[in-house]
């Protein structure tokens, strides 16, 4: 089955380019932006050979997984663009819910699959990482900002030995193809991109994101380089920073880092 956009994405004017195999959909999207493409346009494949993750980590996408990137060229600051990652998390969680319900109806199952959002940009199923989001931005010679939001979902396979254990939809018993998930994601993206509204709607995105946040109010350790901040996951602020409340009541805003909950948090994020 070929990749196709959902009906909402089509009527909102989105386009897409699908690849049988590609190095990185993020790299392709940014290269197209440098060549004059301004989107909104999806780049999608079910096999990515040189995928990249957050903090310069590789992101393997063996055949059957979903690697997708949306390119938008917009007039916002890089700090505002960074908050688009939260809208992406909401879109992906919505799409995952939709395809999971449909798959469970097809198999006459009754499992209520629950996904949550882990700061800054992961989607979890239980304690396992199911998907990751990498947002990249570059100022073009025109002065406009090319923003690429790359979304990788473990559909049929998950990597082993990762710092946060990973899972896949197949392992969760959700029998769905990357193409179905992509169609649902493209529609959900159109919905949450509208709410985000070039950052003007981040208040509403933040509210919706916090409703689905993993670990809110729980012990957390955040590692940023050599620094580890430990405390309680209090909230995210109006710029998307994670707020850690220390035992003495101080609230520390964190703009980037790896988050550990539960026993991993109390073990100092090792
Ligand atoms: C993470 O580290 O959690 C983010 C992973 C993001 C992977 C996606 S797959 C589609 C897009 N293309 C890439 O090269 N990376 C992103």
Ordered domains of the chain (ranges, CATH): 7-210 (3.30.930.10), 215-266 (2.30.30.100)
pLDDT the model gives residue 270 = 46
Q: Residue 106's pLDDT is what?
A: 83
118 CB within 6 A, ligand 1: no
- ω before 120 within 30° of 0 (cis)? yes
Q: How far apart are CA 121 and CA 168, in angstroms?
A: 17
Neighbours of 182 (CB within 10 A): 29
Beta carbons within 10 angstroms of residue 31's beta carbon: 14
CB distance 54 to ligand 1 below 6 Å: yes
Report the distance separating Cα 157 and Cα 62, nearest Å: 7
Q: Which of 151, 154, 159, 164 to mutate to test the pocket of ligand 1 (most atoms within 8 A of CB)?
A: 151
Model confidence pLDDT, tens digit, residues 165-197: 999 999 999 999 999 999 999 999 999 999 999
- Whether 81 shows a pLDDT value over 50: the answer reads yes
Structure tokens at 202: 């981040």
> Interior CA angle at 135 toward 211 and 56, to 5°?
115
User: Distance from the CA of 241 to the center of ligand 1, in angstroms?
Assistant: 21
Collect all residues with Cβ–Cβ distance below 8 Å to 140 and sequence separation of at least 6.
33, 34, 73, 146
Q: 215: Cβ below 6 Å to ligand 1?
A: no
Answer yes or no: are the C-beta atoms of 168 and 63 closer than 8 Å.
Answer: no
Per-residue pLDDT reduced to its tens digit, 140-154: 999 999 999 999 999
């Amino acid at each position: 089955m070929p990749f196709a956009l959902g009906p909402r994405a089509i009527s909102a004017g989105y386009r897409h380019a699908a690849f049988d195999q590609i190095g990185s959909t993020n790299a392709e999207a940014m290269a197209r932006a440098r060549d004059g493409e301004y989107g909104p346009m999806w780049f999608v494949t079910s096999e990515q050979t040189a995928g990249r993750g957050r903090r310069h980590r590789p992101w393997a996408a063996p055949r059957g997984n979903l690697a997708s990137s949306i390119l938008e060229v917009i007039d916002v600051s890089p700090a505002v663009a960074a908050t688009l990652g939260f809208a992406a998390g909401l879109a992906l969680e919505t799409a995952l819910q939709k395809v999971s319900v449909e798959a469970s109806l097809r198999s006459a199952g009754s499992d209520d699959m629950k996904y949550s959002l882990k700061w800054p940009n992961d989607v979890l199923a239980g304690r396992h990482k199911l998907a990751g989001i990498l947002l990249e931005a570059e100022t073009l010679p025109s002065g406009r900002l090319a923003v690429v939001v790359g979304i990788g979902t473990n559909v049929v396979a998950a990597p082993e030995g990762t710092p946060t254990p990973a899972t896949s939809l197949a392992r969760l018993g959700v029998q769905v193809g990357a193409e179905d998930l992509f169609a649902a994601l493209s529609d959900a993206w159109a919905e949450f991109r509208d709410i985000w509204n070039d950052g003007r709607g981040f208040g509403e995105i933040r509210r919706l994101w916090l409703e689905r946040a993993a670990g809110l109010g729980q012990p957390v350790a955040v590692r940023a380089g050599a620094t580890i901040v430990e405390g309680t996951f209090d909230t995210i602020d109006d710029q998307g920073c994670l707020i850690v409340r220390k035992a003495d009541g101080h609230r520390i805003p964190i703009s980037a880092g790896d988050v550990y909950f539960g026993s991993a948090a109390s073990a100092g994020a090792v």
